[in-house]
Structure 1
Amino acid sequence: MRVKVAEKSIEEYRGLVEQQVEEIKQLATSLKGLKVVHINATAYGGGVAEILQSLVPLMNSVGLKTEWRVIEAPGEFFNVTKKFHNTLQGAEIPITEEEWKLYEDVCRANAELIDGDEDIVVIHDPQPAAIRSFAKAKASTKWIWRCHIDLSTPNQTVWNRFSSYVSDYNRMIFHLEEYFPSNVKEKCRAFPPSIDPLSEKNIELNENFVREVLKKLEIDPQRPLITVVARFDPWKDLFSAIDVYRLVKREVPSVQLAIVSAMASDDPEGWIFFEKVLRYAGTDEDIKFCTNLKGVGSKEVNSIQRSSTVALHTATREGFGLVISEALYKRVPVVARPVGGVKIQIKHGENGYLTWEKDELAGYILELMKDENLRGRMGEQGRKIVLEKFITTANLMNYLKTFLEVLG
């Protein structure tokens, strides 16, 4: 499937990051007319789709011919690739020969997404990675695998086999150097993903709109609010988020917890964990489940984040965690576990706090709730670091540098 994207101009970002805009236009001069195709697993739900919604039109705006294509696959395929996701992050889950065959068969069928005249193909994550093995591309086409998950301690048995699908790629991009697989380090590059400050999830909002969203979701704007934005996924450990909230509630009975999530089309496991987290939350009316099942889209997520006292992130593994940058950009300090890409977004004591222990997470939240000046200072620092490093123009610049490098 070929995804249509709205037009965007790099000039729209000049008011936020003028120097970055100038650098991007300079880099793009020798890439004009280059045909680039991005391929991933879903057109909505999840960070990769959000990134591509901004990145693809911006590449076009600086003169590249860029398209976004999404694979088509049955539900069983996504059950298998969810196993890939979990095992590549270290889980011990068996994958049968039938499941490996299904994976290859679906990637072989989706190799038709390659027209044969592409200059660069960027494949995102494990789901479409094997397309490279079956595509009829021209000999000069450069292939890039953009991995958005934490590959620092993979299930070695699975990686040994899966790596055969990406061994012929010209480059592999990860969020952090600590994710580089030891057998392909020379092909690896590291740069973080990004948020789009001009997307519906991050733009400034009308106060009346925000008020109506909170009313619809039964969130009281006069009471403190802890917000967790995360998929229903075992690695996100939403059970710990509820535990932390309960510890805070002992001292601040008026506190509310918003668990904000979108059910992604390529994550069938999400429904199972959604039910488990619902049961764990029990009948506490101050725990608000804010999902696309209730009509919560990008602007609603934006509204909830802007209304938050503190953002909380309890993941035990995290490739990057774009939701951290989203909160920081909105001047909301974040309390989180120091995993993966979270560590490079939060500077402990400057724009949030990092700790593994639930009682310490609760303690930091209480400290921020009680000190409005501290929240304000940390909020300003958070926005500053995002504008410097983690917005879509910085991501675009890194891609252009990688294209220039891979093309020689």
Structure 2
Amino acid sequence: MHTVTIHARAAASLRTIAGTDAGGRYEQRLAAAREVLQGRSVWHVNSTSAGGGVAELLRSCLGYLVDDGIDTRWMVIDGDPEFFTITKRIHNRLHGVLGDGGPLGGPERRHNVDVTRSNAIDIRRSVRAGDIVVVHDPQPLGLVPVLRSLGATVIWTCHIGADTPSPLVRSAWDFLVPDARAAQAITFTRAAYAWDGLEADRVHVLPPCIDHGSPKNVAIDPERTFAILRAAGLISGLGDCGDATFARSDGTQGRVSHRAQMTQEAPPPSDVPVVVQVSRWDALKDPLGVIRGFFDEPSITGSHLMLAGPMPGTVVDDPEAATVLAEVHELWESLPAPHRGRVHIANLPTDDAEENATIVNALQRHADVVVQKSLAEGFGLTVTEAMWKGRAVVAGRVGGIRDQIEDGVSGILVDPRDLTAFGNAIGSLLADPSLASGLGAAAEHRVRERYLAPQYLGAYLQLFAELA
């Protein structure tokens, strides 16, 4: 295992960003948690420090708790390729998808135990009796009984799930539930995701959030947006457009200096409408369906499509990314020349996490429409990010996205397997900027009311106080 440094973030804005009532509730929960956490540490354990929504959530939000006086720490487990192949298989099954079709049986359980035993050596050196440990998702779940034996209070958080449990979903539950039952509390992002076989009084619903003050979500003016996108090689057609700098979380200044790895015929002009999807290279995000649906709508003639994701091989716990990206490239190459010229595949630089976040921020702000055509989704952080920026969003009517977006009010929901409906929704927004603007304004308000750090962190602080 290794420890990730958490930089303190100025927490004063948590009292105001979501309104007076939310700020007051956060302050009350913080005071109660401080009282019971004296002399205790709060640990978060997951499987990667970069790439994916959980790592991003922890990186951006934990610093507020540090600034507010909560001794907060973050550890990441180590694992070999076989371990992450198994956990990706579990991830897919929890979404109701077969994935690689491999088994979940005795050999897989024994390998997980071996990896857990190796990580437990480090965890025993760090965690003390009385500490609170939040274990995120299936990868480190095997550590829960180990942590309980050390006298820690353990919360297991599952960020993924399926709308309707199938035998495939239940096979993943059966594999995981012995370790999950060892936790004093279990949180899900939606009530519908709670498993059978868990004690109801241990189950809590805590939807995630975005960090309003992070490089990915902080306000950027149009001039700097263009500068950042040009510096990253994502758009063309601009002269000297300003300085591609950004404020880092630690207060220092950064500059966008790494360029995206592009698959395209030419960069999109800066003045054409752009539809954007930002996601991992994951079959559940359906990048192939995004391309096909985009061209299924004949009215989308002058617009361009950009699919943006991380550089290949940079997300340790996602072994299927290279295969999915290769399929996207294959489809792009098969498109007729006029269509191919309007599709751009962007592998965003990931050497600097906050530079990457800044590029995503600028790309979402530049987009005329943001899409997230997920076939399954626990909670769509990229959906919330785009909503916070006042973008019109078209997303799959699945999982947590159904909670995030009120269809026709703060975005448009579609059956993600209906390519015609998906294309029609995009076309309607591109054809009616006032409709897109109205949905975007309502989207920003909904995020402010429900999905910012004061609500999320406050809910965890309340749970800490109840369990400690």
Please say whether Structure 1 and Structure 2 have the same fold, judged by a TM-score greater than 0.5: yes
Answer yes or no: is the 8 Å Cα contact 1:328–1:334 preserved in 2: yes
Alignment of 1:15-164 (within 5 A): 15-19=16-20, 20-32=22-34, 33=38, 34-92=40-98, 93=101, 94-111=103-120, 112-114=122-124, 115-117=126-128, 118-135=130-147, 137-139=149-151, 141-152=152-163, 153=165, 154-164=168-178
Within the candidate set 209, 215, 218, 1:203 is matched to 218
Within the candidate set 453, 456, 460, 1:392 is matched to 453
Partner in structure 2 of residue 241 of structure 1: 290
Do the aligned partners of residues 137 and 294 (structure 1) sit closer, same or farther apart at CA in structure 2, a change above 3 Å counting? closer
Q: Find the residue that maps to 1:200 and give its secondary structure.
A: coil
Q: Find the residue that maps to 2:272 and give its secondary structure.
A: coil
Do the aligned partners of residues 14 and 156 (structure 1) sit closer, same or farther apart at CA in structure 2, a change above 3 Å counting? closer
CA RMSD, aligned part only? Answer: 1.9
- Give aligned pairs, total: 405
Partner in structure 1 of residue 329 of structure 2: 278
Distance 2:445 2:31 in 1: 29
Q: Which whole-Å deviations, capped at 9, do the CAs of 1:235-294 have from their partners, x for residues lacking one?
A: 11111111111123x323221111111252211111111111111122513211122358
Q: Which whole-Å deviations, capped at 9, do the CAs of 1:118-147 have from their partners, x for residues lacking one?
A: 5211000000000123347543x2110110
Q: What is the CA distance between 1:113 and its match in structure 2? A: 2.0
Alignment of 1:211-222 (within 5 A): 211-215=226-230, 216-217=233-234, 218-222=267-271
Distance 2:172 2:405 in 1: 32
Q: What is the CA distance between 1:206 and its match in structure 2? A: 4.1
Do the aligned partners of residues 15 and 161 (structure 1) sit closer, same or farther apart at CA in structure 2, a change above 3 Å counting? closer
One-letter amino acid matched to 1:146: T
Answer yes or no: is the 8 Å Cα contact 2:162–2:376 preserved in 1: no
Aligned sequence identity (%): 27
One-letter amino acid matched to 1:290: A
Partner in structure 2 of residue 10 of structure 1: 11
- TM-score of the superposition, structure 1-length normalised? 0.94
Q: Which runs of 5 or more residues in structure 1 are unaligned?
A: none
Q: Find the residue that maps to 2:48 and give its secondary structure.
A: coil
Structure 1 window deviating more from structure 2 (117-126 vs 325-334): it is 117-126
Q: Which whole-Å deviations, capped at 9, do the CAs of 1:68-103 have from their partners, x for residues lacking one?
A: 111112222111110111122223432353322121
Q: What is the CA distance between 1:151 and its match in structure 2? A: 4.4
Distance 1:87 1:2 in 2: 29
Partner in structure 2 of residue 309 of structure 1: 368
Distance 2:14 2:95 in 1: 35
Distance 2:276 2:45 in 1: 31
Partner in structure 2 of residue 183 of structure 1: 197
Q: Find the residue that maps to 1:251 and give its secondary structure.
A: coil
Partner in structure 2 of residue 232 of structure 1: 281
Q: Which runs of 5 or more residues in structure 2 are unaligned?
A: 235-266
- TM-score of the superposition, structure 2-length normalised? 0.82
Answer yes or no: is the 8 Å Cα contact 2:136–2:156 preserved in 1: yes
